[in-house]
Amino acid sequence: MTTSHDLIERYYDALASGAIDDVLALYADDAEIVRYDGVAATPDEMRGYFEQHLARHPGLTLRQIDRVREADDVLIWDALLDTEVGILQVFHVVLLDDAGKVLRHVPGIRGYWGA
């Protein structure tokens, strides 16, 4: 079984390399990404979300994981990310399925410090 830190590191490793297929492999078949501007509920919509995310934040790499909290099937974390245009402070809330894959994902940005 994948630990929470393994999942988080695999998520950021895949994003840093632009390997969207590897990011999507962390998600269940019926997963959703829930945001204020809408819900990505199909593989194509989720791919589009990550393509836009990487385009907005080029050179994204994990600087550090600040906090992680797990409770049964819920995983929450805060992290700092380096990008070509500055530092992002992010938070994520995910609901995991029985296999440890992401079922629901609520991503967010707490702060941004541009270059």
pLDDT in tens, the chain (115 residues): 457 889 999 999 999 999 999 999 999 999 999 999 999 999 999 999 999 999 999 999 999 999 999 999 999 999 999 999 899 999 999 999 999 999 999 999 988 887 6
- Write the CA distances from 2 to 5, 45, 99, integer angstroms: 8, 25, 9
pLDDT of residue 2: 59
pLDDT of residue 1: 47
Per the structure, the count of domains in the chain is 1
What is the value of pTM for the model shown? 0.92
pLDDT of residue 115: 62
89: containing domain: 4-114
Query: The domain spanning residue 93 has which CATH number?
Result: 3.10.450.50
Q: In 3D, which of 26, 48, 49 has the Cα closest to residue 95?
A: 26
Are 114 and 85 spatial neighbours (Cβ–Cβ below 8 Å)? yes
